[in-house]
């Protein structure tokens, strides 16, 4: 069996999320059906991080095992010819050593994009979160810094989150304004269910002046999702990239240059 690694981008607007769900359109199902036609046998795909309904990806990383012999470029060209317009394979390579898309990852990077203007989006509909109230990106960034480090993120996890531990290591969070957009770049060793969207909801409340800057610190201390504010919409959320040890030969997104030198994978 050969293990093949894929880089995948998708518009999550028309999907129920990454994971297979009965009678619903999922990215995993769509990708597996396309690759199975190229392999002429059933293919099962494993991703670095499952995304929810409506969440997009600049670069998801996935792998599959197959005994069919194909040129590497055939997996991308053949796969894309069988894929719809809202999901595409952007690169392919053979795995080395013990690579696993999920368990070999050191860090994930997400970007949350907020369109901050009075008018709703037309061209960006479904691809950004709209907020008409003015946001103070400086205060949002200041508030986000309380979340850096190894913390219990119980106040920022979905009530139905199935993770055994609420502890995660937050590497960095940067919030900044670019014209009429407020952008949040966030990286951790792993994320809890709805964690990024819950953090975005809290920071938006702070940016609108509804809560003080140190509210994020208070929420970490109380460890209660009931006090954690709204869950921001999925529209503006993108999986931006996944970072692996260099010996796997997967190109590193420049944003991961901010990671601490001793960053380790989530066990």
Same domain, 151 and 203: yes
Residue 254 falls within a domain, yes or no?
A: no
Which tokens is 141 given?
């960034």
Residue 67 falls within a domain, yes or no?
A: yes
Residues forming beta bridges with residue 114, ordered by sequence position:
129, 182
Same domain, 85 and 129: no
Q: Which of these three, 60, 85, 104, is where a domain ends?
A: 104
Same domain, 201 and 86: no
pLDDT value of residue 187 = 96
pLDDT single digits (tens) 57-110: 999 999 999 999 999 999 999 999 999 999 999 999 999 889 999 999 999 999
CATH code at 7?
Answer: 3.30.70.580
Give the Å distances, CA to CA, from 130 to 13, 57, 110, 248.
15, 19, 18, 38
pLDDT single digits (tens) 233-242: 999 999 999 9
pLDDT value of residue 266 = 72
Q: Which of these three, 78, 104, 130, is where a domain ends?
A: 104
Residue 160 falls within a domain, yes or no?
A: yes
Closest CA to 53 of 27, 29, 34: 27
CA distance 69 to 67: 6
Catalogue the active-site residues: 52
Residue 30 falls within a domain, yes or no?
A: yes
Same domain, 115 and 229: yes
Measured in degrees and rounded to the nearest 5, phi and psi for residue 154 equal -60, -35
Which tokens is 14 given?
């028309």
Same domain, 41 and 64: yes
When divided into structural domains, the chain yields a total of 2
Task: Yes or no: say if 7 and 89 are a contact pair by the CB < 8 Å rule.
Answer: yes
pLDDT value of residue 159 = 83
Which tokens is 106 given?
């050191």
Same domain, 34 and 73: yes
Residue 252 falls within a domain, yes or no?
A: no
Average pLDDT along the chain, 267 residues, taken 10 residues at a time: 96 95 94 97 96 96 95 96 97 94 96 98 96 98 97 92 91 97 96 96 97 96 89 97 94 87 73
Same domain, 184 and 212: yes
Which tokens is 115 given?
């369109």
Residue 258 falls within a domain, yes or no?
A: no
Same domain, 98 and 111: no
Residue 246 falls within a domain, yes or no?
A: no
Q: Which domain holds residue 12?
A: 2-104
Same domain, 137 and 224: yes
pLDDT value of residue 267 = 63
Q: Which of these three, 104, 127, 159, is where a domain ends?
A: 104
Same domain, 189 and 65: no
Residue 121 falls within a domain, yes or no?
A: yes
Q: Residue 16 in 3-state DSSP?
A: coil
Same domain, 224 and 118: yes
CATH code at 158?
Answer: 3.30.70.660
Same domain, 95 and 134: no
């Amino acid at each position: 069996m050969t293990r093949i690694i894929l880089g995948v981008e998708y518009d999550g607007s028309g999907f129920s999320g990454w994971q297979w769900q009965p009678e619903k359109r999922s990215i995993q199902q769509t990708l597996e059906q396309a690759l199975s036609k190229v392999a002429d046998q059933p293919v099962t795909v494993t991703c670095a991080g499952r995304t929810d309904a409506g969440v997009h990806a600049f670069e998801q990383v996935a792998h599959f095992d197959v005994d069919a012999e194909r040129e590497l470029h055939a997996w991308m060209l053949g796969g894309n010819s069988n894929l719809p317009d809202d999901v595409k394979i952007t690169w392919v390579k053979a795995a080395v050593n013990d690579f696993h898309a999920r368990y070999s990852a050191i860090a994930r990077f997400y970007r949350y994009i907020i369109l901050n203007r009075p008018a709703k989006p037309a061209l960006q509909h479904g691809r950004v979160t709209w907020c008409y109230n003015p946001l103070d990106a400086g205060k949002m960034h200041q508030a986000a810094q309380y979340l850096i480090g190894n913390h219990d993120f119980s106040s920022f996890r979905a009530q139905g989150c199935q993770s055994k531990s609420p502890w995660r290591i937050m590497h960095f969070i940067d919030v900044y304004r670019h014209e009429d957009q407020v952008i949040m770049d966030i990286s951790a060793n792993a994320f809890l269910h709805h964690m990024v969207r819950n953090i975005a909801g809290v920071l938006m409340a702070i940016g609108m002046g509804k809560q003080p800057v140190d509210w994020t610190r208070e929420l970490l201390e109380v460890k209660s999702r009931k006090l954690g504010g709204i869950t921001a919409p999925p529209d503006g959320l993108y999986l931006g990239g996944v970072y692996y040890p260099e010996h796997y030969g997967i190109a590193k997104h420049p944003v991961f240059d901010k990671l601490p030198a001793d960053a380790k994978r989530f066990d």
